[in-house]
Amino acid sequence: MTVYEKSARFLHQPVGGGPRALLALAAVLLAVAVMLPLWNLTMFAPQYGHGLRLDIFSHTLVGGNGGQDIKEINLLNHYIGMHSLSVEDFTEFKWMPFAFGALALVFLRAIVLGTVKELTDSVVLFLYFGAFSLWSFGYKLYRYGHDLSPEAPVKVAPFSPPMFGYQKIANFEVYSYPRAGTYVLAVVTLALLAAVWLAWRQRNRKLA
């Protein structure tokens, strides 16, 4: 048997109960992740001892202090010519919840059709989605820190806000960390990888 025949045979094998249960869990967690904040940015300056907070969801931005923090961040940013943060400017907020739903459907499809092929589709599509989202988030941060208006009253050198961890930007301590939604998505990733592993082990048993 050639390696191609082997892999084709494996892909068409039905998966067992374990991987299907993990897929179901992943689909449910995806739905949960839509409700949860994915990332948080918190900024402190001497005059902002309580911090300015920004929570990023898959479908919106939520400022701390009843939304006031976004207004405050935008007021500060206009001095250095940063674009104003507004939900309307992010197409992500339109397609991301849809993508979460679509991926959940792909997972459910894999449960119903039930072969390694559909499981592999689920994993590959999800990993691609996750990697793209992270890149997109990083790129957005970069653009916000680099597309500064040439007419800004205060000129600062272009900068990249941190994606993970702490950074000092002007007089601000800026912290950027994932929040619950992202950890749920990480669990989805683990569940999918575990499903693949179980399917792989099944195959090995059969071959043995």
Partner 1 sequence: MRKRSKFLTWSAIAGLALLAVLATRCSPKQPQGDRPSASDLADAAKKTYVAPGDLDEYYMFSSGGHSGQVFVYGIPSMRHISTIPVFTPYPGTGYGFDDDTKKMLGGLTWGDAHHPALSETKGEYDGRWLFINEMNGRVARIDLRDFKTKEIFGPAPNVSGNHGSSFVTENSEYTMMASRFSIPIPKGTYAPIDKYASEYKGVLVGVKIDPKTGGMSMGFEILAPPFDFDLGDAGKGPSADWMFWTSYNTERATGQLEVTASQKDRDYIAAVNWKVAEDAAAKGLGDMIGGVRVIDPKKVPGLIYLIPCGKSPHGVDVSPDGKWIIGSGKLQGVTTAFAFDKIQAAIAAKDFAGEEDGIPVLKYESVKVAEVPVGLGPLHTQFGPDGFAYTSLFVDSAIAKWKLGTWEVVDTIPMSYSIGHLAAAEGDSASPDGKYLVGLNKLSNGRHLSVGPSQPESSQLVDITGDKMKLLYDAFTEPEPHYAQIIKADKLHPIEVYPKEENHHPLAIWDIKDAGVTRNGNKVTVKMVAVRSSFSPSSFEVREGDIVTVAITNIEQATDMLHGFGLLDYNLNLVIDPGETKTVTFTAKKGVFPYYCTNFCSALHQEMQGYLLVKPR
Told to check if 49 binds partner 1 by CB under 8 A, we report yes
Maximum Cα–Cα distance across the chain:
72
33 neighbors 107 (Cβ within 8 angstroms):
no
Tokens read off for 116:
């390694």
Residues within window 54-113 making contact with partner 1, judged by CB under 8 A: none
Told to check if 51 binds partner 1 by CB under 8 A, we report yes
Residues with Cβ within 8 Å of 43's Cβ and at least 6 positions away in sequence, in order, are 51, 52, 53, 73, 172, 173, 174, 175
Give CA–CA dist 207/200, Å, rounded.
Answer: 11
CB of 183 to partner 1, least distance (A): 5
Kindly indicate which of the ranges 9-17, 93-101, 118-126, 184-192 contains the residues binding partner 1, using the contact rule CB under 8 A: 184-192
The site map against partner 1 for 11-40 (x = CB under 8 A) is -----------------------------x
Kindly indicate which of the ranges 12-20, 45-53, 104-112, 117-125 contains the residues binding partner 1, using the contact rule CB under 8 A: 45-53
∠ CA 2-192-29, nearest 5°, is 160
∠ CA 80-83-88, nearest 5°, is 160
The site map against partner 1 for 141-180 (x = CB under 8 A) is ----------xxxxx---------x----xx-x-xxxxx-
Q: Which residue has the tokens 């990332």?
A: 39
Told to check if 2 binds partner 1 by CB under 8 A, we report no
Question: What residue ranges bind partner 1 (CB under 8 A)?
Answer: 40-42, 44-47, 49-51, 53, 151-155, 165, 170-171, 173, 175-179, 183, 186-187, 190, 194, 197, 201, 204, 208
